[in-house]
A and B are shown apart, each in its own frame.
Chain A
């Protein structure tokens, strides 16, 4: 195999090669990103805890449930703890365009219900003790350079203070999560702080609870609890829908439509377009090289070698594209992770994502090279030389 000729042929048309490598690189990069997103979404769903159930309004996630439900549910056999979750929807004063989640929770049951969360700084006791305290994720702390002991101003978009000022939360702890179902960019604060402010007229906004988390005792049948809770509020005032955490996450993801399928379709379309672009380039390269192929055959190179030369060129170009795309992906993984961690905590370029990108590029190269390669093999020396002039 004349390797030098193969490399020289690629370098012989630098602009064409750079553009083809660039287009493959962009495609591989996109496919890797899309795959990381879909894998991240699936991972978020599959990492959900099996001993937690979530109770939401049967009408919509955006309809709050009455506070009184907590006490009623506490009597259901098998429920060990209940934790309220209320979406706050605030914005950091100094970065109003930035997004991160804030939830009001029950401090007494939150920690034991989410063992995957551990504090790396501060203390949970301080969090419990101080009514205006909050816990923040490591990525959020890093993003805004927040530290334990600092007071952070959050402007409410749903819950606004009547004095027109921002809510102030004291950072009592910084957590990290060992599970992709909990992201590292959330701020948790006392549900009671919010509730009491509303009660006292210090703030305005809807009263109620967005979601109740039910932690079940070991050995409890979740279906039985689900049925009992749903039946308990069958006649109102607000019907509920009790689901497993995995199902809740899945529904949350599906609120955006069938994202994984959509992303796969986009990825497929990108690949399809790039395949034809590379195929077209290689067919052009093969035609341009008809004379060279004729010369090589006349010299004594076999049909197989001349075909492999074109297949090899195609594979080389696509491999270089894959390398650039994967390298770009690895370099941009952190910024992408930071941007997406609120929505997809498990976003990451794992080994499978990189292998997929490389395999797609190699496959594209191989198939794109086979067409001109097959033509080169079939071309007789006399035909090829006749095309010389």
Chain B
């Protein structure tokens, strides 16, 4: 069953240099489960902050962040960590693989938190790497991979523990167009074939075109939501 996301009157303010900066301002937003969302908006509009709140990486000052049945604002640090391990996969712009581990070991990392045997972990990591087309690069260290391959490993890591939600922060920001397209196609496939709820922050309209819906944020508030039917048809 896919997981919906419900943001209710969420406010988040950062304090920098004695100045209060309200990044999210009473934001209301509902996202259906099993949908590929792109999150767009100018710099400072609150995209990454919203992503962090939905991923349980940060706390809202007020309001409710409901992911499935869980209100993340009610969870403490260790409960949030456990919730993240079970429910969310992250993909970052800079790939963020651990350089000392091989591709397989990087993908196995989140599985260490699941009650799995060593063999099960290995098999699950290998399945995830096969899914992203890197079955022949499993033992390579990140420095031995191209940018596109690194991001594929990061995607494999994000899906290895079979989370319902995948959160991606500018996943194609460091990639060339062709590689970026192949990564976006992969995300699209994960959404369509595995019914994952995907929320992707991007500045790139072409990247956003791969999403089913495009959420526009402006100064911490919801601007509009575009239904990207062309992408949906594809």
> Which residues of A approach B to under 8 Å, CB–CB?
2, 4-5, 8-9, 11-12, 291-292, 294-304, 380-382, 385, 388-389
Q: Of the candidates A9, A380, A388, which one forms a contact with B96 in the assembled complex, judged by CB atoms under 8 Å apart? A: A388
Q: A9-B100, A299-B84 are contacts. A381–B57 as well, Cβ < 8 Å?
A: yes
Q: Which residues of B contact A298 (CB under 8 A)?
A: 55, 57, 84, 90
Q: Is B77 an interface residue (CB 8 A)?
A: yes
Give Cα A299–Cα B85 distance, bound, in whole angstroms: 6
Q: Which residues of A contact B105 (CB under 8 A)?
A: 4, 8
**Sample of 30 A–B contacts (CB below 8 Å):** A2-B109, A4-B105, A5-B100, A5-B109, A8-B101, A9-B100, A291-B96, A295-B92, A295-B96, A296-B98, A297-B81, A298-B90, A299-B84, A299-B85, A300-B81, A300-B86, A300-B110, A300-B113, A301-B113, A302-B77, A303-B78, A303-B81, A381-B52, A381-B57, A381-B58, A382-B58, A385-B92, A385-B96, A388-B94, A389-B94
Give Cα A295–Cα B94 distance, bound, in whole angstroms: 11
Q: Of the candidates A9, A300, A303, A388, which one forms a contact with B84 in the assembled complex, judged by CB atoms under 8 Å apart? A: A300
Q: A291-B96, A389-B94 are contacts. A299–B110 as well, Cβ < 8 Å?
A: yes
Q: Which residues of B contact A297 (CB under 8 A)?
A: 57, 81
Q: Which residues of B contact A5 (CB under 8 A)?
A: 98, 100-101, 109
Q: Which residues of B contact A294 (CB under 8 A)?
A: 96
Q: Is the CB of A388 within 8 A of B112?
A: no
* Most chain B beta-carbon neighbours within 10 Å: one of A12, A299, A382: A299
Contact code string B60-90 (vs A, CB < 8 Å = 1, else 0):
0000000000000000011001111110001
Classify chain B: how many residues form its interface, as a range: 20 to 34
- Nearest CB in chain B: distance from A9 CB, A: 6
Q: Which residues of B contact A380 (CB under 8 A)?
A: 57-58
- Nearest CB in chain A: distance from B83 CB, A: 8
Give Cα A304–Cα B82 distance, bound, in whole angstroms: 13
Q: A2-B112, A297-B81, A300-B85 are contacts. A382–B98 as well, Cβ < 8 Å?
A: no
Q: Which 3 A-B pairs have the closest CB atoms?
A: A300-B85, A8-B100, A12-B100
A291 to chain B: closest residue by CB:
B96
A306 to chain B: closest residue by CB:
B81
Q: Is the CB of A299 within 8 A of B90?
A: yes
Q: Is B223 an interface residue (CB 8 A)?
A: no
Give Cα A8–Cα B78 distance, bound, in whole angstroms: 26
